[in-house]
Chains A and B, each alone.
Chain A
Amino acid sequence: MRKGNIEPKDCEEDVAAKLKRLQTMVSSARELEAGIEGLVAVLGEQSVDSGAYQVAPSLAKNLTSLREILADSYDFHFREFIITSINRKAAVVFLEGMANEVLINTHIIERLMLQSATGQTVYTPQAEYESIKDTLLTVGALNVVNIMEKAVKQLLSGDTLLLVEGVPSIIIIESRKMEARPISEPETESNVRAPRDGFVEVLETNISLLRRRLKSNNLIAKRFTLGVRSNTNIDVVYFRGIVNPRLVCEVERRLRKIKIDLPISTGFLEGLLEDHPKSIFPTMLVTERPDKVAAALVEGKVAILMDGSPFVLLAPSTFSDFFQTSDDYNEKWLVTSIIRFTRYFSALFAMATPAVFVAITTFHPGLLPTPLAITIAVARMNTPFPAFLEALFMIALVEILQEAGLRLPKTIGPAVSIFGGLVIGEGIVRAELISAPMIIVIAFTAIASFNIANYRINLIVRLLRVPLLSLGASLGLFGVMMGLLTLFVHLSLLESFGVPFLAPVTPRNLKYFSDLKDTVVVAPPSAMDERPEYLNPEDSQRQQN
Chain B
Amino acid sequence: MRISLIQLFIICFVTSFGVSMASLPAAVAKSAHEDMWLSVLVGGVAFLFAVWVVTKLSSYFPQHSCIEYHRILLGPILGQGVNILLVILILLIPIVSVRSFVVAAKTYLFDITPPQVLSAAILILLWYAAQYGLQPIIRFQQLIFFSSHMVFFLIILMGLMAIQQRHYLPFLADGVLPVLKGAIPSWYAYTGPEIVIGMFYPFITRQKETFKWAAASVAALIVVYTVTTVIVQGILGPEETAHLLSPTIIAFRKVVLPDTFIERVDGYFLIFWIPVFIVCMLNWVYLAAFGIERILRLENSRPAVALLMPLILYFVIVPPDYQTASAISEWTNKLLIAWGAGILPLLLCIAWWKEKRRGAC
In the complex, chain A residues 470-502 whose Cβ is within 8 Å of any chain B Cβ:
475-479, 481-482, 485-486, 488-489, 491-493, 500, 502
In the complex, chain B residues 6-42 whose Cβ is within 8 Å of any chain A Cβ:
6-7
Known contacts A475-B121, A477-B271, A492-B139, A507 near B6 by CB under 8 Å:
yes
The answer on a CB contact under 8 Å between A482 and B6 is no
The answer on a CB contact under 8 Å between B263 and A477 is no
Q: How far is the CA of A486 from the CA of B275 in the complex (A)?
A: 10
Q: Which of A478, A486, A493 contacts B109 (CB 8 A)?
A: A478
Question: Which of the segments A325-333, A365-373, A386-394 contacts the partner chain?
Answer: A365-373
Known contacts A478-B109, A481-B274, A492 near B267 by CB under 8 Å:
no
Specify which chain A residues have a CB less than 8 angstroms from the CB of B267 in the assembled complex: 364, 366-367
The answer on a CB contact under 8 Å between A478 and B139 is no
Q: Which of B5, B110, B137 contacts A478 (CB 8 A)?
A: B110
Answer whether residue B142 sits at the interface, using C-beta atoms and an 8 A cutoff: yes
Q: How many A-B residue pairs have CB under 8 A?
A: 83
Shortest CB–CB separation between residue A500 and chain B, in angstroms? 6
Specify which chain A residues have a CB less than 8 angstroms from the CB of B109 in the assembled complex: 363-364, 476-478
Answer whether residue B4 sits at the interface, using C-beta atoms and an 8 A cutoff: yes
Answer whether residue B153 sits at the interface, using C-beta atoms and an 8 A cutoff: no
Known contacts A476-B109, A478-B274, A492 near B125 by CB under 8 Å:
no
Answer whether residue A230 sits at the interface, using C-beta atoms and an 8 A cutoff: no
Answer whether residue B162 sits at the interface, using C-beta atoms and an 8 A cutoff: no
Question: Which of the segments B68-76, B128-136, B311-319 contacts the partner chain?
Answer: B128-136
Q: How far is the CA of A489 from the CA of B105 in the complex (A)?
A: 22
Answer whether residue B63 sits at the interface, using C-beta atoms and an 8 A cutoff: no
Known contacts A366-B264, A489-B125, A505-B143, A478 near B275 by CB under 8 Å:
no
Specify which chain B residues have a CB less than 8 angstroms from the CB of A489 in the assembled complex: 125, 128-129, 136, 140
Known contacts A364-B109, A475-B121, A508-B7, A492 near B143 by CB under 8 Å:
yes
Answer whether residue B335 sits at the interface, using C-beta atoms and an 8 A cutoff: no
Answer whether residue A509 sits at the interface, using C-beta atoms and an 8 A cutoff: yes
Q: How far is the CA of A506 from the CA of B145 in the complex (A)?
A: 10
Known contacts A364-B267, A476-B110, A481-B274, A500 near B105 by CB under 8 Å:
no
The answer on a CB contact under 8 Å between B137 and A492 is yes
A368 (CB) vs chain B CBs: closest residue: B263
Specify which chain B residues have a CB less than 8 angstroms from the CB of A485 in the assembled complex: 125, 144, 274-275, 278
B126 (CB) vs chain A CBs: closest residue: A489
B206 (CB) vs chain A CBs: closest residue: A509
Answer whether residue A510 sits at the interface, using C-beta atoms and an 8 A cutoff: yes
Shortest CB–CB separation between residue B173 and chain A, in angstroms? 39
The answer on a CB contact under 8 Å between A363 and B6 is no
The answer on a CB contact under 8 Å between A370 and B263 is yes
Specify which chain A residues have a CB less than 8 angstroms from the CB of B135 in the assembled complex: 500
Specify which chain B residues have a CB less than 8 angstroms from the CB of A481 in the assembled complex: 271, 274-275
Specify which chain B residues have a CB less than 8 angstroms from the CB of A488 in the assembled complex: 140, 143-144
The answer on a CB contact under 8 Å between A478 and B136 is no
B272 (CB) vs chain A CBs: closest residue: A481
The answer on a CB contact under 8 Å between B275 and A508 is no
In the complex, chain A residues 336-372 whose Cβ is within 8 Å of any chain B Cβ:
363-364, 366-367, 369-370
Q: How far is the CA of A475 from the CA of B271 in the complex (A)?
A: 12
Known contacts A364-B267, A500-B139, A510-B6, A486 near B274 by CB under 8 Å:
no
The answer on a CB contact under 8 Å between A492 and B264 is no
0/1 per residue, B191-223, Cβ < 8 Å to A? 000000000000001000000000000000000
The answer on a CB contact under 8 Å between A493 and B263 is no
Q: How far is the CA of A18 from the CA of B165 in the complex (A)?
A: 121
Specify which chain A residues have a CB less than 8 angstroms from the CB of B262 in the assembled complex: 369
The answer on a CB contact under 8 Å between B144 and A478 is no
Find the residue from B132, B136, B205, B275 having the highest chain A CB count within 10 A. Answer: B136
In the complex, chain B residues 238-286 whose Cβ is within 8 Å of any chain A Cβ:
260-264, 267-268, 271, 274-275, 278
Q: How far is the CA of A478 from the CA of B104 in the complex (A)?
A: 12
Shortest CB–CB separation between residue B107 and chain A, in angstroms? 13
Q: How far is the CA of A505 from the CA of B147 in the complex (A)?
A: 11
B10 (CB) vs chain A CBs: closest residue: A506
Shortest CB–CB separation between residue A239 and chain B, in angstroms? 28
Q: Which of A366, A367, A482, A493 contacts B136 (CB 8 A)?
A: A493
The answer on a CB contact under 8 Å between B143 and A506 is yes
Specify which chain A residues have a CB less than 8 angstroms from the CB of B117 in the assembled complex: 475
0/1 per residue, B274-308, Cβ < 8 Å to A? 11001000000000000000000000000000000
0/1 per residue, B106-133, Cβ < 8 Å to A? 0001100100011001100100110010
Q: How far is the CA of A478 from the CA of B128 in the complex (A)?
A: 17
Shortest CB–CB separation between residue A181 and chain B, in angstroms? 42
Shortest CB–CB separation between residue B101 and chain A, in angstroms? 10
The answer on a CB contact under 8 Å between B121 and A502 is no
Specify which chain A residues have a CB less than 8 angstroms from the CB of B4 in the assembled complex: 508-509
Specify which chain A residues have a CB less than 8 angstroms from the CB of B110 in the assembled complex: 363, 475-476, 478
Known contacts A363-B110, A485-B275, A502 near B143 by CB under 8 Å:
yes
Shortest CB–CB separation between residue A278 and chain B, in angstroms? 14
Shortest CB–CB separation between residue A478 and chain B, in angstroms? 6
Q: How far is the CA of A502 from the CA of B143 in the complex (A)?
A: 9
Shortest CB–CB separation between residue A377 and chain B, in angstroms? 16
Q: How far is the CA of A507 from the CA of B145 in the complex (A)?
A: 12
Specify which chain A residues have a CB less than 8 angstroms from the CB of B137 in the assembled complex: 492
Specify which chain A residues have a CB less than 8 angstroms from the CB of B144 in the assembled complex: 485, 488
Not counting A482-B125, A485-B144, A510-B6, a sample of 19 additional A-B residue pairs whose C-beta atoms are within 8 angstroms of each other reads A363-B109, A364-B109, A367-B264, A369-B260, A476-B109, A476-B110, A481-B274, A485-B275, A485-B278, A492-B129, A492-B136, A492-B139, A493-B132, A500-B135, A502-B139, A505-B142, A505-B143, A506-B138, A507-B6
Give 10 CB contacts A-B under 8 Å: A363-B110, A364-B109, A481-B275, A485-B144, A486-B128, A488-B144, A489-B125, A492-B129, A507-B6, A509-B6
Q: Which residues of B contact A (CB under 8 A)?
A: 4-7, 105, 109-110, 113, 117-118, 121-122, 125, 128-129, 132, 135-140, 142-144, 146, 205, 260-264, 267-268, 271, 274-275, 278
A-B residue pairs, 6 tightest by C-beta: A492-B140, A367-B267, A509-B4, A506-B142, A492-B139, A489-B129
